A and B are shown apart, each in its own frame.
Chain A
């Protein structure tokens, strides 16, 4: 086979039967490119590079490509240890993918050894929207009363926010101690996630496969005593957030 290759992930060799029928970007059949005990999971890249670029500039199309990428990564991660690639990594030829595996053999070996037997769990903490405070009675009340109410409202909001931040830190510290590694994502604005409440922690934890349920239970328990806080656990994910060698070491 010739032509450009879209790379989804690297991993350990797997039974080709496991990939039978697995389709990637644009419905292309997924296959593996092997070098010694490493494989790259690839498919023929979309023919029209310009068209792909144009598609990635449209949110609806970006979503389709991202989900196709993710579907392949998730399917392969269920079969073998993988290190997912970032979206839209394309090599001009299959032999270049092979060379990548050869040139970076040592680094990829170490990475896969580190990721073997692990999954990523996402944990998000939300501060529920507080019930709207009664609006300061502007009409009729004195100016002083109005200002006092306003400042009380601000103080309450500050207190809530500080409390949420310290809860987030506590949850993250506890979960971090139970995880092999952790990494933080940006907080999700509500209009993006479509979820109510204010996102105050968006973290990923690398967890031993054997301890997934235990970890998820711990996560959902941590904010139980906080009526205004809500925990959401997602995954298991392929270890996207830990695929960079320094992925978990960021400040």
Chain B
């Protein structure tokens, strides 16, 4: 493989995991719109997986809590809130 740029030489092989995670989980291109538009045809796991990743207590421990502010996940957030409220206020 040719290496024409200063890229890989300066890219530290073992980047800080937090730096990698915040980029691959929180940034990067999301084709979320397709889920709504082409629900029948294109099956993307991204959103489902993000929900699952987000559900991990570990993620919260790590300070990864962006899903709580992510509008595309807000319905889940709302449900969670509702569930929490239901728990706190027994009917």
Q: Which residues of A contact B (CB under 8 A)?
A: 9-10, 17-18, 20-22, 49, 52-53, 56-59, 62-63, 66-67, 69-70, 73-75, 77-79, 83-92, 96, 99-100, 104, 111, 119, 122, 183, 185-186, 188-189, 191-195, 202, 204, 209, 212-213, 234-237, 240-241, 243-244, 247
Docked complex: B38-77 residues within 8 A CB-CB of A: 41-46, 48-50, 52-53, 55-56, 58-59, 62-64, 66
Give the residue of A18, A59, A193 whose beta carbon is less than 8 angstroms from that of B1: A18
Q: Is the CB of B22 within 8 A of A91?
A: no
Q: Interface residues of B toward A: which range?
A: 35 or more
Interface centre among B31, B50, B66 (most CB of A within 10 A): B31
**Chain A residues, CB < 8 A from B41:** 96
Q: Is the CB of A74 within 8 A of B11?
A: yes
A91 to B24, CA, bound (A): 17
**Chain B residues, CB < 8 A from A77:** 7
Contact of B16 with A by CB under 8 A: yes
A99 to B12, CA, bound (A): 35
Q: Is the CB of A87 within 8 A of B28?
A: yes
Write the chain A residue with the least CB distance to B17: A63
Write the chain B residue with the least CB distance to A104: B31
Quote the shortest CB–CB distance from B19 to chain A (angstroms): 6
**Chain B residues, CB < 8 A from A188:** 18, 22, 63
Q: Which residues of B contact A (CB under 8 A)?
A: 1-8, 10-12, 15-31, 34, 41-46, 48-50, 52-53, 55-56, 58-59, 62-64, 66
Q: Is the CB of B28 within 8 A of A85?
A: yes
A9 to B22, CA, bound (A): 16
Quote the shortest CB–CB distance from B54 to chain A (angstroms): 10
Give the residue of B1, B43, B45, B53 whose beta carbon is less than 8 angstroms from that of A75: B1
Extra 16 A-B pairs, beta carbons < 8 Å, given A87-B49, A188-B22: A10-B29, A17-B1, A57-B56, A67-B20, A69-B24, A74-B8, A77-B7, A79-B2, A86-B50, A92-B42, A99-B42, A186-B64, A189-B62, A202-B22, A241-B27, A244-B29
